[in-house]
Amino acid sequence: MTVKDKTVLVTEANRGIGQALTAEALARGARRVYAGTSQPLLHPDERVTPLSLDVTSTAQIQAAAGQVESLDMLINNAGIALPDDLTDSAVLERHLAVNLFGTYAVTQAFLPAVTRSRGAIANILSVNAPAPLPFIIPAYSVSKAAAFSLTQSLCARVAGQRVRVHAVLPGPVDTDMTRGSDIPKSSSESVALAIFDAVDNGEDEIFPDPAQRPWPPAGAICSQAA
Ligand SMILES: NC(=O)c1ccc[n+]([C@@H]2O[C@H](COP(=O)([O-])OP(=O)(O)OC[C@H]3O[C@@H](n4cnc5c(N)ncnc54)[C@H](OP(=O)(O)O)[C@@H]3O)[C@@H](O)[C@H]2O)c1
């Protein structure tokens, strides 16, 4: 699917990868970009419609769904990553609340609109979904692994309705999330560009940084269902 003349929703578009995805969608000629945000967002492009959208808030998700008449592409980008050592279940629950259940709830709310348009969903996961970092961010890794599994199953379940579901598995990206980590990182702009290119190409599993591709794509799960 190409983004030109389409409507796109990005959860949490005010910084990091979400901000870059918003800019890239606009650069590719999106007709409207719904920019999920937790704080007031003033965007100079009139094609951007801010939406108050905490992905853990059922009320905000319902209100946002009511504001969006039609939708071609949902990008579940909102996420948290906190360092932990798996000793505190509350930290694991916080990750699951945003990275798994937030993604699930937003998807459920907008799936009817995306289905009507025979559109696409892209879930921003992580290479830590298949390859956890047990000594740095294990709870984050658990949540992204669960969200990856959710993405794969959803992909298979909606393929018959001509909805594409893309799993995006970035490596380290230079955003607030990795501030302080002295490791090689991709820019959020290059990641956004690679994501839309891969969506254009119909890739089920998207590795926006080729250096991070850890194993052959398992897109067969989707292809078999289509
Ligand atoms: N940076 C990386 O290295 C990297 C690598 C792989 C995958 N990812 C994934 O890429 C996505 C974007 O991350 P990023 O690097 O751009 O990080 P970021 O700059 O920290 O941005 C994360 C965004 O998620 C938002 N968020 C957190 N909790 C939320 C909630 N309950 N509802 C709505 N929004 C919420 C934050 O909103 P606030 O501004 O309100 O805090 C923030 O804008 C995440 O899913 C992350 O896991 C990042």
Lowest mean pLDDT among 69-78, 80-89, 146-155, 217-226: 217-226
Residue 45 falls inside a structural domain: yes
Ligand 1, atom 38, lies closest to the CA of 38
Cβ atoms of 114 and 9 closer than 8 Å = no
Ligand 1, atom 44, lies closest to the CA of 79
What's the whole-number mean pLDDT along residues 134-149?
Answer: 98
Residue 1 falls inside a structural domain: no
Q: Which pLDDT value is given to residue 223?
A: 58
The half-sphere exposure of 80 on its side-chain side, counting CA atoms within 13 A, is 18
Ligand 1, atom 33, lies closest to the CA of 54
- For residue range 56-68, list pLDDT tens digits in order: 999 999 999 999 9
CATH number at residue 41: 3.40.50.720
Residue 2 falls inside a structural domain: no
Domain count, the chain: 1
Confidence of residue 19 (pLDDT cuts 50, 70, 90): very high
Residue 159 Cα to ligand 1 middle (Å)? 27
Residue 204 falls inside a structural domain: yes
Q: Which pLDDT value is given to residue 216?
A: 47
Q: Over 60: is that where the pLDDT of 220 sits?
A: no
Determine whether the shortest distance from the Cβ of 12 to ligand 1 is under 6 A. Answer: yes
Confidence of residue 214 (pLDDT cuts 50, 70, 90): low
Residue 96 falls inside a structural domain: yes
What's the whole-number mean pLDDT along residues 137-155?
Answer: 98
Residue 172 falls inside a structural domain: yes
Ligand 1, atom 25, lies closest to the CA of 78
Cβ atoms of 122 and 199 closer than 8 Å = yes
Q: Which pLDDT value is given to residue 221?
A: 55
Among 73, 103, 101, residue whose Cα is nearest residue 9: 73
- For residue range 164-210, list pLDDT tens digits in order: 999 999 999 999 999 988 999 999 999 999 999 999 999 999 999 86
Residue 12 falls inside a structural domain: yes
Ligand 1, atom 32, lies closest to the CA of 54
Give Cα 192 distance to the centre of its chain: 11
Residue 65 falls inside a structural domain: yes
Q: Which pLDDT value is given to residue 37?
A: 94
Question: Which residue segment(s) compose the domain that 76 sits in?
Answer: 7-225
Q: Which pLDDT value is given to residue 226?
A: 56
Residue 80 Cα to ligand 1 middle (Å)? 5
User: What is the side-by-side order of every strand in the sheet holding 32-37?
Assistant: 48-52, 32-37, 7-10, 73-76, 120-124, 164-168, 205-206
Which residue has 């918003």 as its token pair? 22
Residue 11 Cα to ligand 1 middle (Å)? 9
